[in-house]
Structure 1
Amino acid sequence: MVQQRIAALTGTAPAGSLGTSSALSGTGSSSSMFADALAQAQAQMSGTSGTSGDDIVSDATKYLGVPYKWGGTDPSTGLDCSGFTQLVMRENGITLPRTAAQQAKVGTEVPSLDQAQPGDLVVLDGGSHIGIYVGDGKMIHAPQTGDIVKISKVWETPMTIRRVTGGSDASTAGSAADGLSYLRSSVLRSAVPSAGSTGTSAATATGQYGSLFAAAESRYDLPQGLLASVAQVESGGNARAVSPAGARGLMQLMPGTAADLGVNAFDPAQAVDGAARLLSSHLDRYDGSVPLALAAYNAGPGNVAKHGGIPPFTETQNYVRKVTGLLNGSN
């Protein structure tokens, strides 16, 4: 539950349920070329967007920990407040203008904070600051220089609250939510090229971490060789790898995911333990199905649920194929 995740992050008890959106998101991999990603995204940009406010909040929490940067629109280097909201909404099929003042005019006005719903835009400081409402009087936002994307209590009566979901007046990009999310996963979040993509065995580049993998697999009852295979495809065994969008370390954990897991993504021991716990939870969710667990690690449980199995994303399907191939010794 999104509300439970926010409560865990902020140390407060959930005031209620925000829905059943996925709590933890997958990580990116480098298995797809841009042309494939673009084609996949375009193929899904038809019809009307079914994105909910809970989907938006769940997506936004992936960027927790990204540093603030004035004028920033790239999570690999930093985001400002409106760059953050624009990015999150774009990934969910909603097109916003660039600045907070411009964004304060889109969608439908919500009369008061009491009537705000998760996913609404909250405009503060006379129109110079904007964030995304998460419920319980809190918002997720990129605050100021020296700070990071985080969840804070709404500290003043908003200048305006704008609803951009559920058939609002905001300009949308059709039902591009899945396509743009896929494009982000396969292009923006692509890690360094992995040796796994060239047919090299998982043990080649990840052998030095063998004892970590074995211990974690034993501790969390994971299939032998799963963690080495994931690490090979994710980072090529590079514990210092950073993707363009900020996925980090051996297991390519996004800052928000690493924070949820309580690990330092650049510390191999912590990263392996966190990834093992995440994969274990996915295996429990999917009754031991390794392909579904891998799909959730890559594309997020929300997409697995939405599509009733491995999502029809070329990148995700290739990812599952490569990891399982390494795991089975066929790649």
Structure 2
Amino acid sequence: MTIGDVTSRISAIQAQLDMLAPASNPVSSAAFANALSANSLTAASGMPSVGAGATADGLAVVDEAKQYLGVPYVWGGTSPTGMDCSGLVQMVYEKFGYDLPRLSADQARSGQPVASMAEARPGDLIAWDNSSRNNGVDHIAIYMGDGKMIEAPRTGLNVRIVDVPSTPDVIRRILPDTAAVTSASFSPTAAPTPGGAVPSFVPYADAFNTAGRTYGVNPMLLSAVARQESGFDAKAVSGAGAQGIMQLMPGTAKGLGVTDPFNPTQAIDGAARLLKDLMTRFGSTELGLAAYNAGPGAVLKYNGIPPYAETQNYVRSIMTTLEATT
């Protein structure tokens, strides 16, 4: 037996132990592996905390844009201390793995066209061509829904929320049409469940099994994600603001119809729908997990699992747990 075989077997055993452990158990498979190997991968230095909250839906984009409310307008600015209209758009979407052009005229040609404001969704870009001196649009903003937008307006004013002042000359959708996941996207009837049921001694086993049966997601996969995300801690809050057992960002939770992400049953149900959508969209469990952790934009950008140590470890750890328990 090679050293690699031994290490693989140790990881599988630890995964089984972790599934048996109560939520209060401080030992994780990652910590166990680090104790055995000095060569274990670690999260990249300075890498932002991502988790499920990085999933790019329109409400998450709006929530991110709100972080910059009150920042002064600075022509050509692209930093949290000062930004112009296209700088705001570029910074917000960069958080979700989208590398948009720097100029508003170029941003207004990105993504897909939206026919009218009646079809506009939160997170869409709305833009105006106010001056004949420029080639293309010269002002761009992020649509919030309900006739409001977030903009970096002009010198002397700060990033703000205002009513959409007039019909935009251009409306563009950067996010995939399937990015907004709602309860209505899935049939509430029972679907065939791949994989086995979560044993009763695992925390919230009933919720994992119910959600798995309802949406056709392996309940053991849901359980493994919860262990990786929060250690089965329904009250967990990350440094980035992700909440609950499945670590949903507030905007993502709202888009999923989860009114209380600290309620384990609601959170698990929402996460099951989200994972089902991501795995269907990207065609595999591994890519679905990568999108759950780093966001669909990052998976699309790199055409696979992003080269982030955190995301690669995340996918590897969950798949190891899944393989050891099925």
TM-score for both structures, normalised by structure 1: 0.49
**Structure (1 or 2) with the larger CA radius of gyration:** 2
TM-score for both structures, normalised by structure 2: 0.49
